[in-house]
Amino acid sequence: MEYKIYSIITGSGSYIPTKIVTNEDFISNEFYESNGIKIEKSGQEIADKFHEITTIAERRYISDNMKTTDMAYLAAIEAIKAAGIEQEELDYVIVANNFGDTTPSNRASDNIPAMASKIKHKLGIKNPETIAYDITFGCPGWLQAVIQADYFIKSGDAKKILVIGADVLSRISDPHDRDCMLYADGAGAVVLEGRESSSPIGIIAHNTRSDTFSHAGLLHMGASNNPNFENPKDLFLKMNGRRLYQYALETVPQAIKACVDKSGFSINEVKKVLIHQANGKMDDAILKRLFNLYGIPNAPEDIMPMTVQNLGNTSVATLPTLYDLIIKNNMKNHQIHKADVLIFASVGAGMNINAVVYKME
CATH (domain of 45): 3.40.47.10
Q: Give the model's pLDDT for residue 147.
A: 98
Q: What is the identity of the amino acid at 244? A: L
- Residues 184, 135 share a domain: yes
Asked if 354 and 206 touch (Cβ cutoff 8 Å), the reply is yes
Span 72-84, average pLDDT: 98
| Interstrand relation of 19-22 and 58-61 (parallel, antiparallel or unpaired) | antiparallel
- Residues 148, 42 share a domain: yes
CA-to-CA separations, 9 to 20, 62, 77, 131, 294, in angstroms, rounded: 30, 27, 15, 19, 29
CA-to-CA separations, 247 to 215, 252, 293, in angstroms, rounded: 8, 8, 17
Half-sphere exposure at residue 36, Cβ-oriented, CA atoms within 13 angstroms: 6
Could you give the number of structural domains in the chain?
Answer: 2
Cα separation, 326 vs 332, whole angstroms: 8
Asked if 342 and 358 touch (Cβ cutoff 8 Å), the reply is yes
Per-residue pLDDT band for 146 (boundaries 50, 70, 90) equals: very high
- What are the counts of helices (DSSP H) followed by strands (DSSP E) for the chain? 9, 15
- Residues 154, 38 share a domain: yes
Q: Give the model's pLDDT for residue 167.
A: 97
The length of the chain is 361
Q: Which of 176, 197, 218 lies at the terminal end of a domain, its last residue?
A: 197
- Residues 157, 219 share a domain: no
Asked if 79 and 11 touch (Cβ cutoff 8 Å), the reply is yes
- Residues 331, 211 share a domain: yes
Domain that holds residue 353: 202-359
Q: Is the dihedral of CA 49, 54, 59, 62 positive or negative?
A: negative
Q: Which of 177, 197, 217 lies at the terminal end of a domain, its last residue?
A: 197
- Residues 101, 79 share a domain: yes
Span 218-230, average pLDDT: 92
- Residues 314, 224 share a domain: yes
pLDDT of residue 105 exceeding 90, the answer is no
Query: Cα 252–254–256 angle (5° rounding)?
Result: 70
- Residues 133, 43 share a domain: yes
pLDDT of residue 1 exceeding 80, the answer is no
- Residues 128, 238 share a domain: no
SS3 311: helix
CA-to-CA separations, 245 to 88, 168, 206, 233, in angstroms, rounded: 43, 23, 23, 29
pLDDT of residue 332 exceeding 90, the answer is no
- Average pLDDT of the chain is 95
- Residues 297, 224 share a domain: yes
SS3 annotation, 133-195: EEECCCCCHHHHHHHHHHHHHHHCCCCEEEEEEEEECHHHCCCCCHHHHHECEEEEEEEEEEE
pLDDT of residue 241 exceeding 80, the answer is yes
- Residues 245, 261 share a domain: yes
Q: Give the model's pLDDT for residue 109.
A: 81
- Residues 208, 342 share a domain: yes
Q: Which residues contact 296 (CB under 8 A, 6 or more apart)?
A: 267
Span 252-257, average pLDDT: 97
pLDDT of residue 111 exceeding 90, the answer is no
pLDDT of residue 268 exceeding 80, the answer is yes
Q: Which of 178, 197, 216 lies at the terminal end of a domain, its last residue?
A: 197
